[in-house]
Amino acid sequence: MNIRIPSALTVLAAFAILFTFHISVAFSQQEGRTIPVNAREAMQQLLADEDTDGDLKITIDDSHVPGTERGNKRFWLHSMARERFEVAGVYHLCNLLQELTLLSQAGRDTSLLRFDRVFEPAVDRISRSIREHYWDALTRRIDEDGLPGVLQDEKTSTVSNARYIYVPPSDLVAVNYFREVRSRHPAWRLLVVQLPDRVVPQYVRGLEGYHGILSLGLRESPAGTMEGIPFVVPGGRFNEMYGWDSYFILLGLLADGRIDLAKSLVDNFVYELTHYGAILNANRTYYLTRSQPPFLTSMIRECYRHLPKDSTSHKWLRTALAAAIQEYKMVWMQPQRRTAIGLNRYFDSGSGPPPEVEPGHFDDTFRRYAAKHRMTPAAFERAYRSGRIKDPELDRYFVHDRAMRESGHDTSYRLINQCADLATVDLNALLYRIERDIAEVIEQEFGGSLTLSDGKTERSTTWSERAEERKKLINQYLWDPGRGMFFDYSLPAMRRTGYVSATTLYPLWARLATPEQAAHLVSTALPLLEAPGGILSSTESSRGPISEVHPLRQWDYPHGWAPHQMLVWQGLARYGMGELAQRLAYRWLFTITLNATLYNGTITEKYDVARRSHEVFAEYGNVGTKFSYITREGFGWTNASFQVGRSLLTPDLLEQLNNLIPPEWIFLP
């Protein structure tokens, strides 16, 4: 397969490559050489010369100052040995700033700067940074050593200025452990609260102003002390363990050989199911009323594939599979998430505005309803939140909003104000995959039947029958043979919605599509959803025109997200379309690489894949852009998508990305 660099970046590319070559050739001829530098002074001089917009980064947005050499994308680096070296181009200057930052933070007057790191090929540098730095920077533990970092999160602040950790009453070891931690650290203002035996929505709503972190698993360390089972957070403001993020993060960890850390994610999910009754949206108290898209069986199977096949691993598999069966029955097959047509929906048992959203998110919503009640928006919001005013229509709006947040796709016009009324393609494809996974694991690893700790026996044939019944219902209600796509089904309207979203491709990942359906999806949906930078979240026509009353939403056109990319790549590969998966992976990695090289290593939560840009201004902005000097963590599932996507590309395609030098890297006077 031959994939060319998109034409928008080929103008003057040859000239730019030659322009850069004469500057870097001296370095390449001295491969492995280091030079002694005063890192702090060099960094300050580099920023003074090239950071013309003062954001403590070197990016393509640092413009040349007319009449001076500032911002001309050329810098003379002076060594302590009285040598000087010219470094040019945005990417190389970014790398230089990052390397000097690391050296200066080591605190030595003289440091040895490695040439190969300054001129490291882009794909190699991004991948190495993820593997060697970002995963560790995103790893957390809920224990004595890990709590200080967790408690600094602004989301742990309360009206009493205390910090709360909530512990399930069924884990007495954790209750006692955290009480001892509290007694040893009074300055933390930590309060340890046992949750009630049964957590009801009214209890969660009553925690307003007193929300806190939820404990996760503890284990004995090699030193004989208690330690938290580690988990990986997405990054930025998302400083807790998230439900569906963790599946994609796990894929990246396994690609990098971090098997133990990947296994720990599963272990913490088993803990949540055992003690909270669900895999939570994330481990904070305001998420106790909802889950997130279910991927546990896929996580289990991916991990088990990398574990030694011995009695210890087999025991782990049994425990994890039992937890997955519990999740299926006690979360997804309960009446709240079942529909009249036999398929499932997302739901949240809480009520009212979800407390985790940023201030002002619902201003437009409250403004609309305030007018109906002839009140100012602020007065109406206070009255509604306190319960002094009832509005059934607004109540229903928040039912849908909360269900949408359980879907992970918050927010999208596919789901706004109707999510709880939809049997969605994504959820039912995931549940089909769970049913097939459980059937296959019981058959392959337990001889067709598995007896659980409560004495009940699960049989592979039963789970296969469940999967086949769901597949039949999906084809009946969600498959549109005329358009050749899967669509969500509206229960009140009793018809498919017709909203074209990346979720129409989930049945490929779940392996529930027939070969004929797969061919239809590739010929009908893919041309609508493929963009220069990867797979779009939705089509522009489904989203509708943007206006003051119809603002941009982050899970709609023109945005692309790492989970959609990875699910589509896997789905296409499972239907023998590996070259097509490579093409899409290349587009996505091109987008990440382009933005990282032009913007000081930036790796973000999401991208505008129509423009191949990280500049996304919908709703919450874009996590991963707010850093100085050097990014420390990237973003969890985007990191994972880079490592997974890299493993799909041929050496020729990787070389194309490594040699990608757009003309904007060099300032041409």
If DSSP states are collapsed to H, E and C, what string results for 133-189?
A: HHHHHCEECCCCCCHHHHHCCHHHCCCCCCEEEEECCCCHHHHHHHHHHHHHCHHHC
Question: Which of 4-18, 128-142, 348-362, 452-466 bottoms out in mean pLDDT, i.e. has the lowest?
Answer: 4-18
Annotated catalytic residue within 120, 245, 605, 664: 605
CB 73 within 8 A of CB 598: no
- Mean pLDDT value across residues 327-353: 97
Taking phi over 0 as left and psi of -120 to 50 as alpha, with beta for the rest, 230 belongs to beta
Give the model's pLDDT for residue 107. Answer: 86
In the annotation, is 180 catalytic? no
Q: Predicted confidence band at 118 (pLDDT cuts at 50, 70, 90)?
A: very high
Q: Predicted confidence band at 330 (pLDDT cuts at 50, 70, 90)?
A: very high
Give the model's pLDDT for residue 662. Answer: 52
Give the model's pLDDT for residue 661. Answer: 60
Top-confidence residue, 660 or 76 = 76
- The pLDDT > 90 percentage for the chain reads 87
Selection from 22-31, 74-83, 102-111, 559-568 with the highest mean pLDDT: 559-568
Question: Which of 321-325, 647-651, 664-668 bottoms out in mean pLDDT, i.e. has the lowest?
Answer: 664-668
Give the model's pLDDT for residue 154. Answer: 83
Name every residue whose Cβ is closer than 8 Å to that of residue 246 and which is 6 or more positions away in sequence.
231, 232, 265, 269, 295, 299
What is the residue-averaged pLDDT of the chain?
93
Chain segment 503-545, per-residue pLDDT in tens: 999 999 999 999 999 999 999 999 999 999 999 999 999 999 9
Give the span between the Cα atoms of 121 and 653, in whole angstroms.
13
pTM: 0.94
- With residues binned 3-state (H G I as helix, E B as strand, rest as coil), the percentages for the chain, rounded to 5, are 50, 10, 40
Give the model's pLDDT for residue 157. Answer: 85
Give the model's pLDDT for residue 29. Answer: 41
Q: Predicted confidence band at 2 (pLDDT cuts at 50, 70, 90)?
A: very low
Give the model's pLDDT for residue 620. Answer: 84
Q: Is 13's pLDDT higher than 60?
A: no
In the annotation, is 458 catalytic? no
Give the model's pLDDT for residue 31. Answer: 58
Question: Which of 121-130, 583-592, 652-661 bottoms out in mean pLDDT, i.e. has the lowest?
Answer: 652-661
Annotated catalytic residue within 227, 406, 410, 556: 410
Q: Which residue has the tokens 């300054």?
A: 118
Q: Which residue has the tokens 């992970």?
A: 408
- Mean pLDDT value across residues 396-416: 98
- Mean pLDDT value across residues 470-479: 98
Q: Is 146's pLDDT higher than 60?
A: yes
Chain segment 226-284, per-residue pLDDT in tens: 999 999 999 999 999 999 999 999 999 999 999 999 999 999 999 999 999 999 999 99
Q: Is 435's pLDDT higher than 90?
A: yes
Give the model's pLDDT for residue 358. Answer: 84
* Per-residue b or e along 410-427, where b marks 16 or more CB atoms closer than 10 Å to that residue's CB: bbbbbbbbbbbbbbbbbb
